[in-house]
Amino acid sequence: MSLTDRIAQGLEAGWDVTDGATLAEDQTHEADVVVIGTGAGGGTTAEILAKSGLSVILVEEGRLYYQKDFKMDELTAYANLYQEGMSRVTRDGAIAILQGRCVGGSTTVNWTSSFRTPDETLTYWSERFGLDNLTPDAMAPWFEGREQRHSMAPWHMDPNVNNDILRQGCEKLGYRWQIIPRNVKGCWNLGYCGVGCPTNAKQGALMTTVPGALDHQARLFHGLRADRLVMNQDRIDHLQAMAMNADGVTPSGVTVTLKARHFVVAASAIGSPGLLLRSDVPDPHGRVGKRSFLHPVNATVAQMPEKVDPYYGAPQSVYSDEFNFKQGVDGPAGFKLEVPPLHPAVSAGVIPGHGQTQVDAMAGLPWTQSVIALLRDGFHPDSPGGTVSLRDDGSPVLDYPISDYLWDGLRQAYLTMAEIQFAAGARKVRLVHLDSEWYRSWAEARVAIETIAMEPHRVRLFTAHQMGGCGMGTDPKGSVVNGFGEHHHVSNLSVHDASIFPTSIGANPQLSVYALAARNSTRLAGKLAG
């Protein structure tokens, strides 16, 4: 395999890339289309539009990090590559939010699991939100196209022990499990996806669509934060953006004005509703920022008799959908079961504790296995999601109250995960919960889980899947964009990212974002060319 870096090469060859931190004076630029955000949605959009001959400017608030920066070190990666230096949380602090802030967005740090949008979800959308042309059949070619573009295929190597324990537990209990498709090419099976792929194997936006767009004369401004879309009558006239200092967090004071015929917002859930709210874009029914979803995640950890080394090997390769849609799409909260990679910093941050307890928990890391449950939110009236609003300083924040409906699902997930770990031979199992002890048997765990407090802050929750907030639908009273990501009220504005999902996906979302962005950009390219 070649170690030649696609980004280094492109920069050498003269890509039009500007680091906002180097700008000394205010300036204005113009293109056919301005795309805000360079992640799953933005990258796809920029490549398709640029290839169709349109001039494109890409705006990214994070910085351009690539192979030379990816050194398998957690502390530097979390500080630089993640939103709010990995400290993003919901408004009350009860749910930790992992999200990318760098060129390639979350796809630069994601764990490469690649699922199509489940049929159940697409069908629900068509019935509930009038999205008739997003049926599984209609979407199939778009999924297929993106699977090829991002080299997605079921993982062909043996799962690492961490994943294999999920498989073993499911097998013993008669639960379904499957191998996860991943978007990698020549993967070394190292296990460092979450801190930026050091071998360029990960086929996220950074290695595929962003270079593809730049090869076709797209211009990239990184370290540039989209601040406001400015309207002139009923169209967006320009984007006002703020250059960031090299620290990536403070604006330098230099502003950049970007004019275009069309604007595509792809700053993701939280970022996109935030931008629309700041811009005061028409929103007659108050829909912007509503119905934000997270796949709230809870976790259990197990001590296994054998070494797990949960920091090595493809982070996710086995999953179970046994409980995802089992009780109907809008029955009790369903969940997808997966495992997380466990490196020391993230483990020390997620597993709550201090002093001797923490010393012991950390000393056991090589034997530690963890299962996570991703709850499907948004499909039931008692799961209305959260709300993005603006803080005093204009930054977006997500308020996400956890309903009893979700607490029930989370308790059920704790039970299932502990059962699976014991079935796979765990010596002891503990919930990632402030009150949890180590449980020595499934019987003991079950009793404890049935009565443990299900409360914010005590249950440690997190998410790497933010969705919604600019939901799509046919009825403008209940949605922000139509089924093509086109804004209901502003004709030269589209949204192409995870914020347009009207519910959560019920599977890791990247392929859903890629496919919808590809479909909607192809249509947009046709319109703008015409």
Partner 1 sequence: MNDLPHARSPESGDLDRRSFLKTGMGGALFLGAVSVTAGLSGCATTPAGPREAVDLGPSDGYQFRFLTRDDVQLFHALLPAIIGPALTEQPEDRRQVIGSTIERIDAGISQFGPANQRELRRLFDLLNFGFTRVTIARVWSSWPNVTSAEADAFLERWRTSGIGLFNNGYIALTKISNVAFYGYRDHWHLSGYPGPPQWAIEALPHIKNA
Ligand X SMILES: Cc1cc2nc3c(=O)[nH]c(=O)nc-3n(C[C@H](O)[C@H](O)[C@H](O)COP(=O)(O)OP(=O)(O)OC[C@H]3O[C@@H](n4cnc5c(N)ncnc54)[C@H](O)[C@@H]3O)c2cc1C
Least Cβ distance, residue 429 to ligand X (angstroms): 24
If binding is defined by CB under 8 A, does position 434 make contact with partner 1? yes
Alpha helices in 195-306 (DSSP H): 209-215, 268-279
Structure tokens at 493: 């504005």
If binding is defined by CB under 8 A, does position 9 make contact with partner 1? no
Q: What's the CA dihedral at 283, 512, 295, 180 to 10 degrees?
A: -170
Least Cβ distance, residue 78 to partner 1 (angstroms): 8
Least Cβ distance, residue 92 to ligand X (angstroms): 21
State the distance between the two ends of the chain, measured CA to CA, in whole angstroms. 42
How does 276-305 read in b/e, with b if 16+ C-beta sit within 10 Å?
Answer: bbbbebebeeebbbbbbbbbbbbbbbbbbe
Q: Please, which of residues 315-334 interact with ligand X by CB under 6 A?
A: 316
If binding is defined by CB under 8 A, does position 157 make contact with partner 1? no
Q: Which residue is nearest to ligand X (CB)?
A: 39
Interacting residue with partner 1 among 93, 186, 253, 331 (CB under 8 A): 93
Question: Which three-class secondary structure state does DSSP give residue 465?
Answer: coil
Number of residues located near ligand X, criterion CB under 6 A: 40
Q: Candidates 16-24, 147-155, 358-366, 489-497 — which segment interacts with partner 1 by CB under 8 A?
A: 358-366
Interacting residue with ligand X among 51, 74, 105, 347 (CB under 6 A): 105
Q: Please, which of residues 449-478 interact with partner 1 by CB under 8 A?
A: 455-458, 460
**Tokens 């699902």 sit at which residue?**
409
Interacting residue with ligand X among 109, 236, 333, 461 (CB under 6 A): 109
Rounded Cα distance between 166 and 330, Å, is 26
Least Cβ distance, residue 377 to partner 1 (angstroms): 20
Q: Which is nearer to ligand X, 208 or 508 (CB)?
A: 508
Q: Please, which of residues 427-466 interact with ligand X by CB under 6 A?
A: 464-465
Rounded Cα distance between 226 and 240, Å, is 6
Neighbour count for residue 126 (Cβ, 10 Å): 18
Q: Which is nearer to partner 1, 130 or 198 (CB)?
A: 198
Interacting residue with ligand X among 213, 226, 254, 424 (CB under 6 A): 226
Rounded Cα distance between 205 and 225, Å, is 19
With contact defined as beta carbons under 8 Å apart, do 33 and 261 qualify? yes
Nearest CA among 465, 452, 180, 433 for reference residue 298: 433
The amino acid sitting at 125 is: W
Neighbour count for residue 395 (Cβ, 10 Å): 13
Element housing 335 (H / E) = strand 335-338
Q: Please, which of residues 4-43 interact with ligand X by CB under 6 A?
A: 36-42
If binding is defined by CB under 6 A, does position 513 make contact with ligand X? yes
Interacting residue with partner 1 among 176, 235, 326, 391 (CB under 8 A): 391
350: Cα within 13 Å, side-chain hemisphere: 26
Structure tokens at 122: 């697409």
Q: Which does 271 bind (CB under 5 to 8 A by kind): ligand X, partner 1, none?
A: ligand X
Alpha helices in 71-190 (DSSP H): 74-81, 119-129, 136-149, 161-173
If binding is defined by CB under 6 A, does position 202 make contact with ligand X? no
- List residues near partner 1 by CB under 8 A: 3, 67-68, 70-75, 78-80, 84-85, 87-89, 91-94, 188, 190, 192, 198-199, 247-249, 311-312, 343-349, 352-356, 358-359, 362-366, 391-393, 395, 397, 434-435, 455-458, 460
Residue numbers of the site for ligand X (CB under 6 A)?
36-42, 59-62, 98-101, 105-107, 109-113, 194, 225-226, 266-268, 271, 275, 316, 464-465, 497-498, 508-510, 513
